[in-house]
Structure 1
Amino acid sequence: MAANSAIVFGSTGLVGSYILTNLLSTGPYTPVTTISRRAPKPSSPALNAIVDADVSKWPAAVTGLSPAPHVAFSAIGTTRAAAGGLENQWKIDHDLNVDVARAAKQAGVKTFVFISWSGSDGLLATSFPYGKMKKGVETTVKELDFDHGIIVRPGLILGEREQGRFLEGLAMAAVRGLGFLGLKDSVAQDAEVIARAAIKASQLADEGKAPSRFWVLSPKDIIRLGRTEWEHKEETK
């Protein structure tokens, strides 16, 4: 096993792209492997980018890596509109995340980090399909019993997406206005801060400083780890 290597799923999405760029720029894990349907934008000698449009082949690609990555980050996700319906969204947001988590466990990955949603617990987790998807993945990660399973639960994710979402854009504008009241951090978090919190949590787990083997990060934890305690504070947005 490569003691300090990582693999990133969802590396071309909003949070996943920040996970990748921060891993490559700060260097806590080398090499960094990505598996995606299209090539990620960053380039680096430390990057091993696997591109395969057939997501059904991703689990085999994970188990075929030698040595196995030490930590896996999954920021896989889409929208109902982009997927072409709820059934197709479920295949990505739930099924694909579950498949790569199981493959990571089989391969020998020690720490699995999943970017979930703050509504994945409680009423929203049982009332809304999106909450059910995220909760289902969280449950799988816990049941797989990694050395460390880390669930990152942001609220609304702030950042510029390649494909804008009208309603989400209105929500982000409203949330940014809450900044004047000191309420923004509890409702929404910047994508890069979320990514950095995920990386920081994985490092703390490696150092034996995680509060438990299955660790859930709340929005408050995300702000603390991804902004307040991030070592490269001068770069943080």
Structure 2
Amino acid sequence: MADQLIRTKRLAVVFGGSGFIGRHVVRALAKDGWRVRVASRRPDLAFHLQPLGNVGQIHAVQANLRYPDSIERALRGADAAVNCVGILSPAGEQTFDAIHASGAEAIAKAAKAAGVKSFVQISAIGADDASASAYAKTKAQGEALVAAAFPGAVILRPSVVFGPEDEFFNRFAAMARFMPVLPLIGGGETKLQPVFVGDVARAAALALDGKAKPGAIYELGGPEVATMRRIMEFVLKVTERKRRLVTLSFDQARSVGGVTEVLSKLSLGLLPKMFEITRDQVELLKHDNVVSKAAIVEGRTLQGLGLAPESFEAFTPTYLTRYRATGQYADRRMA
């Protein structure tokens, strides 16, 4: 009982805690007995997280990575911090550099100054300072800046993350509802290693508890390595949709990406997300997104943290069945 009382006094701040990965990190930390402060640009969007813990265990505060004062206020009295903030495409002042690089550095510096004992940075497999992708390049820059500002920070690099609210499997399932054909960029040969969002969150919680190597970069992937083609075929099978898969070369996909970027701006962001693809995302698909052999050998993986990763083939049908013509019902006559 005394140990539990001590544990509940620990305070962790989760930046981007109202987002897809962030909300699961909040849940994992609350389950471990942390008090959790959710730092978000829109704290009103984080109120739904409060039932994930006991009364008063989870609360939200306003913080914007472009305003250092708000970061400092969010970190007052904190013992640990996790940065889950990230974007897939820039919008206005929310640029890749402002969020992935400068923003991450600002949090790490403020955390160090506030006396925070442990810090976790959520990055991504494929982070590379030499990459032609602005997403991958700024992710790598953010890692370096965090490591310099907060020595001992643990960096987590997940592959494509899946879960009930994901923008990956849900996107392809939604596209299959309305489109007679689905694109296979680069022939669909790019390899991915989808990782469950709950496993990523658990890894972050373990890292804050000192179960990860200080200063190490962990690469997080699920048990299956699959090509984009196999993943698309799997989604069509689960959703019971018959759609043609049409190959697009990377050059063709870049052209399409340029058009959708313009349409998104002209529509003031009203273009449905499922139809959006950027040239930067096409660049990312030129490279496999899987856990490296070095990370496996050195134990810088989910398994190295003592976790058995969830299978996307076993889990995603629990939320993809709603995209079937009959929803969760097996018989069309019941719809």
TM-score (norm: length of structure 2): 0.52
Look up the match of 1:169: 172
2:222 is the alignment partner of 1:222: no
Question: Do the aligned partners of residues 224 and 8 (structure 1) sit closer, same or farther apart at CA in structure 2, a change above 3 Å counting?
Answer: same
Which whole-Å deviations, capped at 9, do the CAs of 1:155-200 have from their partners, x for residues lacking one? 11112337x4689637xx9xxxxxxxxxx9x711011110111111
The one-letter code matched in structure 1 to 2:66 is S
Q: Which has the higher contact order (CA 8 A, sep 6+)?
A: 1
Question: Do the aligned partners of residues 74 and 98 (structure 1) sit closer, same or farther apart at CA in structure 2, a change above 3 Å counting?
Answer: same
Question: Do the aligned partners of residues 85 and 51 (structure 1) sit closer, same or farther apart at CA in structure 2, a change above 3 Å counting?
Answer: closer
Measured after TM superposition, the shift of residue 79 of structure 1 is 2.1
Aligned residue runs from structure 1 range 173-184, under 5 A: none
1:198 maps to which of 198, 204, 216:
204
1:119 maps to which of 118, 121, 126:
126
Distance 2:93 2:23 in 1: 24
Q: Is the 8 A contact 1:142 1:149 kept in 2?
A: yes
Q: Secondary structure at the match of 2:126?
A: helix
Q: Is the 8 A contact 2:96 2:134 kept in 1?
A: no
Distance 1:103 1:109 in 2: 9
Measured after TM superposition, the shift of residue 103 of structure 1 is 1.2
Distance 2:93 2:134 in 1: 8
Look up the match of 2:40: 36
Q: Is the 8 A contact 1:193 1:226 kept in 2?
A: no
2:74 is the alignment partner of 1:68: no
Measured after TM superposition, the shift of residue 226 of structure 1 is 7.2
Q: Is the 8 A contact 2:121 2:154 kept in 1?
A: yes
Distance 1:152 1:79 in 2: 17
Which whole-Å deviations, capped at 9, do the CAs of 1:54-103 have from their partners, x for residues lacking one? 5433x3234336852111101101121xx326972332232222211221
2:10 is the alignment partner of 1:4: yes
Aligned residue runs from structure 1 range 95-134, under 5 A: 95-121=102-128, 125-134=130-139
Runs of 4 or more consecutive aligned structure 1 residues displaced over 4 Å after TM superposition: 164-168
Q: Is the 8 A contact 1:153 1:218 kept in 2?
A: yes
The aligned length equals: 202
Q: Greater helix share, 1 or 2?
A: 1
Q: Is the 8 A contact 1:60 1:103 kept in 2?
A: no
2:193 maps to which of 187, 193, 196:
187
Task: State the Cα RMSD in Å.
Answer: 3.3
Which whole-Å deviations, capped at 9, do the CAs of 1:124-153 have from their partners, x for residues lacking one? 75332111111111101111244x310001
Measured after TM superposition, the shift of residue 224 of structure 1 is 5.0
Q: Secondary structure at the match of 1:139?
A: helix
Measured after TM superposition, the shift of residue 116 of structure 1 is 0.5
TM-score (norm: length of structure 1): 0.72
Measured after TM superposition, the shift of residue 225 of structure 1 is 3.2
Distance 1:55 1:66 in 2: 12
Question: Do the aligned partners of residues 20 and 63 (structure 1) sit closer, same or farther apart at CA in structure 2, a change above 3 Å counting?
Answer: same
Distance 1:36 1:67 in 2: 15
Distance 1:114 1:226 in 2: 20
Unaligned ranges ≥5, structure 1: 174-183, 230-236
Look up the match of 2:146: 141
The one-letter code matched in structure 2 to 1:149 is A
Distance 2:148 2:39 in 1: 24
Q: Is the 8 A contact 1:154 1:222 kept in 2?
A: no
Distance 2:75 2:106 in 1: 19
Q: Is the 8 A contact 2:62 2:74 kept in 1?
A: no
Segment of structure 1 superposing worse, 85-94 or 17-26: 85-94
The one-letter code matched in structure 1 to 2:204 is A
**Percent identical residues:** 27
